[in-house]
Homo-oligomer: A and B are copies of this chain.
Amino acid sequence: MTDASRLPGLIALDWGTSAQRAWLLDRVGRIIDVRRPDQGLLATTEGIDVRDGHARELAYEAAFWSACGDWVTAHPDVPVIACGMVGSAQGWADAGYRTVPADLRFGADALVRVRHRRGVVHLVPGLRVPSAADVPGDVIRGEEAQIIGALEALDEPTGVVTLVLPGTHSKWVRVDNGKVLSFTTAMSGELFGLLTADGILARTAVEPRRDDEAFARGLVAGRSRGLTAELFGARPLVLDGLLDPASVHDYVSGVLIAHEVAHQLPTTAPGRVLLCGTEDLCRRYERALAAHGVVPTVLTEDVAARGLWRIACSTGLHHPEAQEQQWQ
């Protein structure tokens, strides 16, 4: 039985706009193999008319086969699950959205099936906060698997959790007893990219060098005179010789993250705060949260595979006990 548990049990993909990851998991959800084929939605659909459904299907099937066709061939009975933009209107097929408040234990009918030459891929739907007349809603695709995976990592996943997923478009998710109540996207990461690639701050900066103290100074500034003024502040600091041009990036990062945290951190009852992302971003957000007296639980591992495994189990796509019993 111990050996049997190491046999492949699930092929899982997180297939986003610009990146793709594929995992081969064993029969109890441990990672056997991982790949980063770098064939996101944009690369997959390059050169084809995305409105042409048939052309799109062919392109996605080819990209899927190139990512993990050998796994599918070697293990034809192992189910396949995928989350992310692959399930969007420009994806392989539209897996739709589930509307919040949404339970994180998906029902068996939640997944959308698309056929490939040797079987089926099960697409995970996104989550949606509907817009009111003047309060914009929000959508996520792929992060739902990260949310499930991150909560799994908690010893005690009950009660209110504020989950922070920092990135190009950071997500702040409010969860109560395994149910997503709401979420908000803050585009701080994208603004950082735009500001440091072009414009006056890009011209003020030189080749960046890590400067934790400049980041801390940005953190303080980002809570004061408004974002559009504090961002510009990096320039006079450089002109006055009080900020190294090589530290402008870290200063700007501090200003943006402080602004985001000050507005997104719930002012009442944030519950447990769970921070999940790359090591560098987690370190930055941890310091910004500390300024509000919040000590988050930090997860720097990639939790999407764990989430996809849980979805596969709860939707009946994978029956760990049943399959293991076959091998006893």
Residues of A whose CB lies within 8 Å of any CB of B are 129-131, 133-139, 169-170, 184-188, 190-191, 193-195, 197-200, 217, 220-221, 225-237, 239-240, 242, 256, 259-260, 262-264
Contact = CB atoms under 8 A, between A and B. Distances in A.
Given A138-B236, A234-B136, A227 B229 contact: no
A321 B71 CA distance: 93
Given A194-B195, A199-B194, A186 B139 contact: no
A228 B256 contact: yes
B233 A136 contact: yes
B200 A190 contact: yes
B138 A227 contact: no
Q: Is the interface of A mostly helix, strand, loop or mixed?
A: helix
Contacts of A239: 139
A230 B228 CA distance: 14
Contacts of A221: 134-136
Contact of A136 (B136, B186, B237, B259): B237
Contacts of A199: 187, 190, 193-194
Which of A200, A227, A242 is most buried by chain B, counting CB atoms within 10 A of its CB?
A227
Nearest to A200: B190
Contact of A198 (B129, B188, B194, B230): B194
